[in-house]
A = this chain, B = another copy of it.
């Protein structure tokens, strides 16, 4: 009987013929920590949206393979379309924390945004991808959110797709409440600035691209906390409707 949610979730790839190969890191984990054996069932994710419920065939050293039993399309699909473009935090562990929790709560894309007041201007993407994969496995999400390379603010705004609604979280001046501003049937991009906030030039540039100023409440929030609050309230908007 298939009950995918009770199985271990591993990262790997599935060929058209149904052969499953587990990624080396997870293969070792499967053998050494989980002590899986041939005949055991696992769910294999590759980030594409379709997961594979499979039976393990062979586990040797670092190579673990299996055979597809069922495809699980739209596995753990997250409703809506929320892209958070956020200044990277000074400490990378806070950025990783944001990635992990945002994926658990349900985000669709993340871009580290290099702003005028950003202290951190380089974001190692490989570690972020590892954290993101672990979050997908932990929260049973077949679809890996798109994690973009870090990009300067101006470039991000120039590339903005105008069919998406655009909001900028700012701390002062006239702002609409984020939760009220949200329309759950529209693809949405939210810009979140660094500790020193966005510069006036950045706000003008975003405003020209149609961005609305939004508030994430009256509290003074760290960057990553602002990001989490935004994702949580977006997720709530969907479960309300």
A binding-site residues for B, Cβ under 8 Å: 5, 76, 78, 97, 101, 104-106, 138-141, 177-180, 215, 217-222, 225, 228-229, 232-233, 235-236, 238-240
Contacts and interface: CB of A to CB of B under 8 A. Distances in A.
Please give the count of copies of this chain that the complex contains.
2
A217 B240 contact: no
B177 A239 contact: yes
Contacts of A233: 232-233, 236
A232 B138 CA distance: 21
Given A180-B240, A233-B236, A236-B236, A219 B105 contact: yes
The 7 tightest CB contacts between A and B, nearest first, are: A232-B232, A179-B236, A233-B236, A229-B232, A104-B225, A217-B239, A177-B239
A77 to B, nearest CB: 9
Given A232-B229, A233-B233, A104 B239 contact: no
Contact of A140 (B220, B236, B239): B220
Contact of A240 (B104, B179, B225, B239): B179
Contacts of A229: 105, 232, 235-236
B221 A139 contact: yes
Nearest to A104: B225
A139 B240 contact: no
